[in-house]
Amino acid sequence: MSERKWDLGATRRVGRVFTRRAPADPPPLDLVGSGELEGALVDWAYYRDGRRDRRIASYVDALKRARRDDGFVWIGLFQPNEQQLAMIGGEFGLHALALEDATEAHQRPKLERYDDTLFAVLKTVRYVPHGDLTATSEVVESGEVMVFCGPGFVITVRHGEHSELTGLRQQLEQEPDRLAAGPGGVLHAIADHVVDTYLEVADAVQADIDKIETEMFSPRGWHSIDRVYQLKREVLELKRAVAPLTGPMRALSTLRHPLISDETRNYFRDVDDHLLRVKEQVVSFDELLSSILQAGLAQVQVSENEDMRRISAWVAILAVPTMIAGVYGMNFDNMPELKLKYAYFVVLAVMAAACSTLYLLFKRNRWL
């Protein structure tokens, strides 16, 4: 997420924790003041009627107001440890199983419901720019965003350097109507942002596939087969992010839940439609790369067959003079033509004629 990280480095030198922030930002959480969220807190804010209330100084106070005034508090965390999540979980009444999943990265995309709280796991992806694709090029990098949505709060937990939700909070703050939808609206905005990123990455990967396909069907293109295999692995990384999310997104587009209004549910249907489109695109990538890989292997077999035919042809050509030389090298006393004056030259002529005939025959049949 584009939420900027609070600068705590200077405070460590004096043995206490404080935050450096722009004057317009809200005061830090009480728990940050005690150092308990040091290194994990990215940003937090209290929203009411779709607008950020900068007068709230404590997230505890913000949560009380949210439950009383129909607002909500949004806390952003980056790779918190188990103790920090346990502390947040205790404050907001989060389920232990959901906290365990949020602590460990590399979770499968999913949506779970714990009483009145929703817990969603989404995979984020980023296209890695590169020059020439090699057998070790990294094309797709992934991260994770985990979202807790409950009455009066949204908590986002990010894992991975490329799990950012670039500019999302600032964008939503410029669109109060979307924030006015509450925690469900924030969950939709995050899902919509993640799926839009899938589309961008899929378009970039499409360009790589078109390039490798052109190279593969060029002369000696099978030399690029290791690059095709590497690209297929990267597409599988994208597929692991996209495909499992279709179930949770379909559930959000049909789920009856107090946090998700009918209007927000309609927007989730639009996100689901975009996700299905990118899923079909990624599946087609996988199938196309499999076909290119098989074509490359077929080219390898054809090339090997051609090499074997050339070798066999030359062996056949050389077998004729070898046979004749072998016969006349047996040194028997009574062998025909041994005493003839021009026998040596006749034998050489026969060898040359036989070899030339075989060469022309193999050339006509494209063995040479």
State the average pLDDT over residues 6-32.
36
Do residues 215 and 231 lie in contact, with contact meaning Cβ atoms separated by under 8 Å? no
Evaluate if pTM is beyond 0.75. no
SS3 74: strand
Following DSSP, what letter does each residue of 17-66 receive, concatenated?
A: ------TTSPPPPHHHHTTTTTTTEEEEEEEETTEE-TT---HHHHHHHH
Give the separation between CA 230 and CA 138, rounded to whole angstroms. Answer: 8
Domain boundaries, the chain: 9-299, 300-364
- pLDDT tens digits, 170-223: 889 898 888 888 899 999 999 999 999 999 999 988 888 888 878 777 666 556
Burial code (b: 16+ CB inside 10 Å, e: under 16) for 89-110 equals bebbebbeebbebbbebebebb
Cβ atoms within 10 Å, residue 184: 24
User: 300-364 has which CATH code?
Assistant: 1.20.58.340
Give the pLDDT confidence score for residue 122 in this predicted structure.
Answer: 93
Question: Nearest 5 degrees, angle CA 43-CA 44-CA 50?
Answer: 125
- pLDDT tens digits, 98-119: 999 898 878 889 999 998 899 9
Q: Which of 191, 206, 172, 38 is nearest to 120 (CA)?
A: 191
Give the end-to-end CA distance of the chain in Å, rounded to a whole number. Answer: 62
Check pLDDT > 70 for residue 7.
no
Give the separation between CA 145 and CA 122, rounded to whole angstroms. Answer: 5
Beta bridge partners of 147: 120, 156
- pLDDT tens digits, 297-307: 777 777 777 77
Give the pLDDT confidence score for residue 301 in this predicted structure.
Answer: 73
Give the separation between CA 330 and CA 198, rounded to whole angstroms. Answer: 78
Pick the CATH number of 9-299 from 3.40.50.720, 3.30.460.20, 1.10.150.20, 3.40.50.2300: 3.30.460.20
- Residue 286 CA from chain centroid, whole number: 12
Check pLDDT > 90 for residue 270.
yes
